[in-house]
Amino acid sequence: MQGRHFLQLVALSAVWGASFPLIRTAAPALGPLPMAFLRCLLAAAVLALLLRVAGERWPARAHWPRLALLALLTVVAPFVLFNAAGLVLPAGYSAVLNATAPLFGVLAGALAGEERITGRKLAGCALGLAGVALLVRLGPVAPDGRVLAGVAACVAASASYGFGAVLMKRATLLHHPLPASAAVHVAAAAVLLLPAAGMAPSVRLVPEALLALAVLGTFTSGFMYWISMRLLREIPASAATSSAFLIPLFGVTWGGLFLGEPFTPGMVPGVALVLAAAALVTGFNPLRLAARR
């Protein structure tokens, strides 16, 4: 992976890290399902407009079922699950738990015959589980049933991202990134339409929630999904998921700056173990990459 790829991963991490405070702001007012639908709808509109301006065509009808599956794994499931977690967990928690995505990405690659499981990777998985446990136990939030459910939702969302990265990489080999990204978000909005409509009466249109939703839908979802697909054409799926290593740093920082969320000393061991686990599993070393620039 070249230095420019590393810089792009850092930029993606900074933007995606900001998504967690935005989710924390919008989810209580909008609800997990309506928020996910509106986010996908906004992203689809932005990408469709870019597609029209670029003069590119939508994917052929025969490809839509596979793109719909990609939408379920990389958009629908993570959006709904992280939104649900945002009802109870601080943004920093969700950002740290998102760093488990590379572990699942490597596992998915192994199952698909694209990665090899080694002792180092197994050790990384064990460290990752230990880090999650420490974060939940030693962080500033009491680990009651709702918190544990939120943690489970974050880990499930990260698993969905990790497994979806393999399909996302394959999609970049068949489609141009912009049409594929637009189709994925259209499919995701279609899947979420009816469930979100059923929850519409509970939606509260609070200004700060709508502003957070607008940023999530137009920028962190639509535009950045397209950028990530462009990057995936040039680097392996496991390397692409390594952007999750830096997301906790930005997620905790943005959560502290904009939401006043505390970062307690008790969180340090959990954060360190999760990041070390992801590095072991993927072999990713940003310091070595930066030195090669």
What is the domain count for the chain?
1
Mean pLDDT confidence for 101-129: 74
- Band (pLDDT 50/70/90 cuts) for residue 28 is very high
The more confidently predicted of residues 65 and 133 is 65
* pLDDT at 251 (0 to 100): 67
% pLDDT > 90, the chain: 40
Give the pLDDT confidence of 181-207 residue by residue, as tens digits.
999 999 999 999 999 999 999 999 999
C-alpha to C-alpha distances, 98 to 42, 151, 293, nearest whole angstrom: 23, 10, 27
pLDDT band at residue 291 under the 50/70/90 scheme: very low
Pick from 69-78, 116-125, 128-137, 253-262: least confident: 128-137
Please give the Cα distance from 155 to 82 (Å, whole number).
9
Q: What is the pLDDT of residue 285?
A: 59
Q: What count of other Cβ atoms lies within 10 Å of the Cβ of residue 36?
A: 31
Task: Write down the pLDDT at residue 242.
Answer: 58
User: How would residue 290 be classed by pLDDT, with cut points 50, 70 and 90?
Assistant: very low
Residues 68-72 have a mean pLDDT of: 95
Over residues 41-52, the pLDDT tens digits come to: 999 999 999 999
Residue 169, CA distances (Å) to 67, 86, 230, 231, 252 in order: 12, 28, 10, 10, 29
Q: 119 or 32, which is more confident?
A: 32
Residue 79 pLDDT level (bands cut at 50, 70, 90): very high
Which residues have a Cβ under 8 Å from the Cβ of 69 and sit 6 or more positions away?
167
Give the tokens for residue 60.
């052929």
pLDDT at 223 over 50: yes
What is the pTM assigned to this prediction? 0.81
> Read out DSSP for 37-61?
HHHHHHHHHHHHHHHHHHTPPPPPG
Provide the domain limits for residue 107: 3-292
- Residue 192 near residue 253 (C-beta atoms within 8 A): no
Distance of alpha carbon 136 from alpha carbon 132, whole angstroms? 6
Q: Are 251 and 21 in contact (CB under 8 A)?
A: yes
- In the block, residue with structure tokens 């680097």: 235
pLDDT at residue 127, rounded to an integer: 75
Over residues 18-34, mean pLDDT: 93
In the numeric block, which tokens belong to residue 226? 């397209």
